[in-house]
Amino acid sequence: MAMSGGVDSSVAASLLCERGYEVIGVGLRLPEAPKTGATCCGVAGLRDARRVAAEIGIPFYVLDYQEPFWREVMAPFGRAYTEGRTPNPCIRCNARLKFGRLLDFARALDAHHLASGHYARVERREDGTPCLRRGVDSRHDQSYFLYALTAQQLAHIIFPLGELTKGQVREIARRWDLPVANKPSSQDICFVGPEGYRVFLARHYPWALRPGPIVDQEGRELGRHKGIGAYTLGQRRGLGVAAEEPLYVIGIDAEDNTIVVGSREDTFIRRLVIDRVHWVADDMPRGESCRLMVKTRYQRAEAPADVQLNHEGVLVDFVRPHPIAAPGQAAVFYNGDVVVGGGVIDRSIPTLVCNVRQKKKR
Options 40, 41, 90, 93, the catalytic residue: 93
Active-site choice (40, 41, 131, 190)? 190
Burial of 141 (0-12, 13-18, 19+ CB in 10 A): buried
CA distance 144 to 25: 25
What's the rounded Cα separation, in Å, for the pair 125 and 106? 25
Angle value at C-alpha 52, between 50 and 53, nearest 5 degrees? 65
User: Is 93 labeled as catalytic in the residue annotation?
Assistant: yes
**How far is the C-alpha of 238 from the C-alpha of 101, rounded, in Å?**
39
Q: What is the dihedral of CA 123, 125, 131, 134, to 10 degrees?
A: -60
90 labelled catalytic? no
Of 323, 9, 354, the C-alpha closest to 161 is 9
Stretch (H or E) spanning 154: helix 151-154
Contact 307, 343 (CB under 8 A): no
Active site positions, annotated: 93, 190
